[in-house]
C-alpha cells in the first residue's frame, strides 16, 4: 500500500508539470467506493461520471483509516481546499492513468459541471441575430401581376390531351316503387326436375357491346448500327541485309597445338575400335541393301525353281483341333525352353465376323501347348468358350494366362498344376529315343494318353466386356498400378496384376486381377456350393462371370473403314 500511494503521489506531481495542476488521479478500492457511494457502473457510469463528496466526510475518513485511506496521498490538497464539496470524476477511459481523479480547484469544478458555450454555438447565435436584423431592414413587397403572353404551348397541351371520341352508352334500370326495400327470397331448384339433370346458361352475342376496331398504320424503320474501328500495326522499315560467312582457318601454330593435345589422343583412342568395326562391316556387307527384296524368291536360277532362303524347322499338326482353322496367336513359354502355345479360330468372312451372334461353334476352341521335343502330341490343352484372338503369359507368374475371345470376353487360366508336366517333356522324350528299338508298355501308354484339358478359371461379364473381338492384350508393368480414378501409384508388391485390352468397338479396357486378395480354396468351397472340376484351380473363382473392367476408355473420333 505504501508503494502504491507513493506511485500515486509521483503521478500527481508529474501531471502537475504537464499542465493540469488541479487534477489528481486516484485509485478507489471497492471499500472506498462503498463508503462514498461512488460504485462503478452503479452510482457512477461513463455517461454520469461526476460525484460531489463533502470535505468533512473525507477528513473523517483520513482520521479513521489513516494511511489506508485512498485520499492519504493528497491529504494536504484536501485540507487546503477552500470549498465545502470536492468533485470526484470517474475516469472510464483511464485518461489520467487511474479509475478516478479529484478536481482541486473551484474554477475547474465549475467548468466541468457547467461547461462554457463553444465558439460554434456563439457563431450560430450571431447568425440568428443577423437574420432578424436583415428581415427588419427588408420589408415584404407583394408581387405585381403581369399579363399572360401565349407562346403556343396551349396548342401542344390540347393535342396531347385525351378526349372521348366514342359516345357513351347509357342504361336506365327501373323498378316498381312498391318493391323498393322488399325482402328477396331465394329458393333451391332440384336438378332432377330438368331434362338430363343439366341446366345450361347459354351465352349470346349482344350487338350493343360490339366494339369497332380502328385500323392504324404504323411504320418501323430498322437501321443497322455502324461503328468505326481502326487498328494500328507497327510496320518496320524494310531494308536489304546480307551476311557473308567465311571458313574459320587455324594458323600453323594452332594446328600443331591441336594435333598434339591430350584430348585429341584420348578421343582417337576411345573411337578407334568402333571405327574399325564399322569399316569392316562396310567391307563385309552392303549397308544399303533392301532386306524385303532379299527375302523374295529368285526365279532366275537354273531349272526354273526358286531358291528358298527360309526353310521350315518344325511343324505341328493336330487333325482334331487345327483342321480347317486359322492360327490367330502364337506365344513362347517365358521360362520353359521348347514350349510353344498356339490358338486357332475358324475361317470367317467379313459378314460372318460382323454377325457373330448367328454363328454357332461347330468345333471346340482350345489353346494347344506343343513341345519341340515331341511335335506329334500336344502337351496341354486349354479349354475356351469362344475362339481366341490373342493371349499372353503373365510376366510375374507364367502359370497365369489371359486371353481375348472373338465375342469380346476376357478369359483367365491357371496351369500351375501342370507346370511339372511341361518341364519333364524333354526327359520323357529322351527316354523314348533311347529305348526306341524296344519301347516298354508304360512308355507306349504315356505316349498314347490324351493331354490334360484345363478349364478356364474366370470369364469376364458379357455386359461389361468388349462388343467386338479382342484384337490385342498386354500386361501392365509390375512397378505401378491404376485405380478407378485413373490415378497411377506405386506397386510395392512388384507383381503384375493389371492388363489392358483393345477392340474394334473403339474402346480400351483396363482389368485388375488382385493377386493378394485371392481367397483360399477352402474358404471358397465353404461359401459356394457349385461344382468345380478337380483339375481346375479355384484361384480366381470369385471373378467368374462377374469380372468387370477397372477403367474404360472410349474413342469416338476413330474413323472406321470398310
Look at 281 and 560; give whichever has higher pLDDT.
281
Inter-residue contact 410 to 464 (CB < 8 Å):
no
Asked if residue 464 lies in contact with residue 548, where contact means CB atoms within 8 angstroms, the answer is yes
Strands of the sheet with 551-554, listed across from one edge: 472-475, 498-503, 507-512, 551-554
CB 331 within 8 A of CB 404: no
Q: Which residues contact 534 (CB under 8 A, 6 or more apart)?
A: none
pLDDT tens-digit profile of 45-69?
888 888 888 888 888 888 888 888 8
The pLDDT, as a whole number, for residue 288 is 78
CA distance 369 to 341: 4
- Provide the pLDDT for residue 562: 43
Q: What is the mean pLDDT of residues 136-141?
A: 69
CA distance 444 to 450: 12
Segment 159-178 shows an average pLDDT of 83
For residue 423, what pLDDT is reported?
A: 86
Contact yes or no for 542/459 (Cβ under 8 A): no
Q: How many residues does the chain have?
A: 562
Would you state the pLDDT for residue 275?
Answer: 92
pLDDT (0 to 100) of residue 381 = 92
pLDDT computed for residue 413 by the predictor = 92
Q: What is the dihedral of CA 277, 278, 281, 286, to 10 degrees?
A: 180
Is residue 524 over pLDDT 50?
no
The pLDDT tens digits for 394-419 are 999 999 999 999 989 999 999 999 98
Q: For 530-545, what is each residue's pLDDT tens digit?
A: 344 444 455 555 556 6
- Quote the percentage of the chain above a pLDDT of 70: 77
Q: Is the pLDDT of residue 231 over 70?
A: yes
Residue 202 CA, chain-centre distance (Å), reads 67
pLDDT of residue 118: 59
pLDDT at 238 over 70: yes
Report the candidate in 388, 363, 360, 560 with the shortest Cα–Cα distance to residue 471: 388
pLDDT per residue over 293-314, tens digit each?
777 655 554 455 555 556 778 8
Q: Which residue has the higher pLDDT, 341 or 238?
A: 341
H or E, element range at 515: none
The yes-or-no verdict on residue 268 having pLDDT over 90 is yes
Give yes or no for residue 561 having a pLDDT over 50: no
In this structure, whether the domain defined by 325-429+450-515+539-552 belongs to CATH 3.10.20.30 is answered with no
pLDDT the model gives residue 502: 93
- Rounded Cα gap, residues 481 and 490, in angstroms: 6
- Which is more confident, 118 or 130? 130
Mean pLDDT of 201-222: 77
Q: In whole angstroms, what is the distance from residue 447 CA to residue 374 CA?
A: 10
Can you tell me the mean pLDDT for 501-511? 91
Which range is most confident: 79-83, 247-251, 291-295? 247-251
Residue 445 reports pLDDT greater than 50: no
pLDDT mean over 70-91? 82
Q: What is the pLDDT of residue 262?
A: 93
Instruction: Say yes or no to pLDDT of 287 above 90.
Output: no
Q: What percent of the chain has pLDDT over 90?
A: 16
At 266 the pLDDT is 93
In the structure, what pLDDT confidence band is assigned to residue 520 with cuts at 50, 70 and 90?
very low
CA distance 507 to 467: 9
Domain boundary assignment for the chain = 6-113, 325-429+450-515+539-552
Using CA atoms, how far apart are residues 464 and 401, in angstroms rounded to an integer? Answer: 20
Better pLDDT: 104 or 549: 549
> Which stretch, 152-161, 229-238, 510-519, has highest mean pLDDT?
152-161
pLDDT of residue 272: 93
Cell digits for 27? 485509485
Beta strand ranges found along 337-446 (DSSP E): 339-346, 365-371, 380-384, 388-393, 400-405, 410-414
Residue 433 has what pLDDT?
55
pLDDT score for 303: 53
Mean pLDDT of 164-187: 81
Residues 332-346 have pLDDT tens digits of 999 998 899 999 988
Quick one: pLDDT at residue 297? 54
pLDDT exceeds cutoff 50 at 380: yes
Predicted local confidence at residue 353, as pLDDT: 62
Average per-residue pLDDT for the chain = 77
φ, ψ of residue 456 to 5 degrees: the values are -70, 150
Tens-digit pLDDT profile for residues 449-472: 688 889 988 899 888 899 889 999
Range scoring the smallest mean pLDDT among 74-88, 173-187, 224-238, 511-525: 511-525
Can you give the pLDDT at residue 129? 72
1-10, 20-29, 148-157, 459-468: which range is least confident on average?
1-10
Contact 5, 68 (CB under 8 A): no
Sheet containing strand 23-26, strands side by side: 23-26, 100-103, 85-90, 50-54
Predicted confidence at residue 257, as pLDDT, reads: 92
Say how far apart CA 112 and CA 419 lie, in whole Å.
111
Amino acid at each position: 500500500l505504501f508503494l502504491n500511494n507513493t506511485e500515486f503521489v509521483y503521478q500527481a506531481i508529474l501531471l502537475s508539470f504537464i499542465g493540469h495542476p488541479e487534477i489528481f488521479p486516484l485509485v478507489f478500492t471497492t471499500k472506498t467506493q462503498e463508503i462514498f457511494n461512488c460504485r462503478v457502473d452503479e452510482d457512477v457510469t461513463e455517461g454520469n461520471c461526476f460525484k460531489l463528496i463533502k470535505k468533512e466526510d473525507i477528513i473523517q475518513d483520513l482520521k479513521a483509516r489513516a494511511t489506508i485511506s485512498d485520499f492519504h496521498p493528497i491529504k494536504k490538497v484536501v485540507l487546503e481546499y477552500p470549498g465545502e464539496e470536492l468533485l470526484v470524476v470517474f475516469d472510464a477511459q483511464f485518461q489520467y492513468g487511474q479509475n478516478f481523479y479529484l478536481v482541486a480547484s473551484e474554477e475547474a469544478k465549475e467548468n466541468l459541471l457547467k461547461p462554457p458555450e463553444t465558439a460554434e454555438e456563439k457563431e450560430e447565435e450571431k447568425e440568428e441575430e443577423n437574420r432578424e436584423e436583415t428581415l427588419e431592414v427588408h420589408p415584404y413587397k407583394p408581387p405585381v401581376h403581369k399579363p399572360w403572353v401565349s407562346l403556343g404551348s396551349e396548342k401542344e397541351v390540347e393535342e396531347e390531351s385525351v378526349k372521348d371520341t366514342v359516345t357513351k352508352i347509357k342504361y336506365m334500370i327501373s323498378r316498381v316503387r312498391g318493391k323498393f326495400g322488399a325482402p328477396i327470397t331465394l329458393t333451391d331448384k332440384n336438378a332432377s326436375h330438368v331434362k338430363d339433370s343439366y341446366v345450361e346458361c347459354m351465352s349470346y352475342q349482344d350487338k350493343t357491346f360490339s366494339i369497332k376496331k380502328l385500323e392504324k398504320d404504323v411504320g418501323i424503320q430498322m437501321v443497322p448500327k455502324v461503328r468505326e474501328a481502326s487498328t494500328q500495326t507497327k510496320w518496320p522499315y524494310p531494308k536489304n541485309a546480307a551476311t557473308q560467312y567465311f571458313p574459320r582457318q587455324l594458323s600453323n601454330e594452332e594446328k600443331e597445338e591441336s594435333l598434339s593435345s591430350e584430348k585429341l589422343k584420348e578421343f582417337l583412342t576411345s573411337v578407334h575400335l568402333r571405327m574399325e568395326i564399322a569399316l569392316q562391316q562396310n567391307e563385309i556387307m552392303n549397308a544399303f541393301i533392301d532386306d524385303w527384296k532379299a527375302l523374295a524368291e529368285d526365279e532366275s536360277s537354273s531349272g526354273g525353281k526358286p531358291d528358298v532362303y527360309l526353310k521350315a524347322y518344325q511343324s505341328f499338326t493336330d487333325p482334331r483341333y487345327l483342321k480347317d482353322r486359322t492360327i490367330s496367336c502364337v506365344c513362347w513359354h517365358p521360362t520353359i525352353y521348347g514350349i510353344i502355345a498356339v490358338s486357332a479360330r475358324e475361317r470367317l468372312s467379313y459378314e460372318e465376323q460382323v454377325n457373330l451372334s448367328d454363328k454357332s461353334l461347330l468345333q471346340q476352341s482350345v489353346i494347344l501347348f506343343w513341345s519341340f521335343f515331341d511335335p506329334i502330341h500336344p502337351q496341354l490343352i486349354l479349354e475356351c468358350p469362344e475362339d481366341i484372338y490373342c493371349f499372353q503369359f503373365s510376366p510375374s507368374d507364367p502359370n497365369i494366362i489371359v486371353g481375348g475371345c472373338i465375342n469380346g470376353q476376357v478369359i483367365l487360366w491357371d496351369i500351375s498344376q501342370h507346370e511339372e508336366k511341361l518341364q519333364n517333356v524333354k526327359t520323357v522324350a529322351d527316354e523314348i529315343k533311347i529305348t526306341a528299338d524296344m519301347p516298354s508298355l508304360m512308355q507306349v501308354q504315356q505316349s498314347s494318353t490324351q493331354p490334360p484339358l484345363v478349364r478356364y478359371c474366370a470369364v469376364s461379364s458379357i455386359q461389361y466386356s468388349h462388343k467386338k473381338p479382342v484384337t490385342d492384350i498386354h500386361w501392365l508393368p509390375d512397378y505401378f498400378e491404376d485405380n478407378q480414378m485413373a490415378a497411377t501409384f506405386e506397386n510395392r508388391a512388384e507383381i503384375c496384376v493389371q492388363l489392358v485390352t483393345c477392340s474394334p468397338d473403339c474402346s480400351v479396357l483396363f482389368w485388375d486381377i488382385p493377386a493378394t486378395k485371392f481367397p483360399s480354396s477352402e474358404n471358397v468351397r465353404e461359401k459356394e456350393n457349385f461344382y468345380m472340376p478337380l483339375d481346375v484351380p479355384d484361384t480366381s473363382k470369385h471373378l467368374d462371370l462377374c469380372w468387370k473392367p477397372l477403367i474404360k476408355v472410349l474413342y469416338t473420333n476413330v474413323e472406321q473403314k470398310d
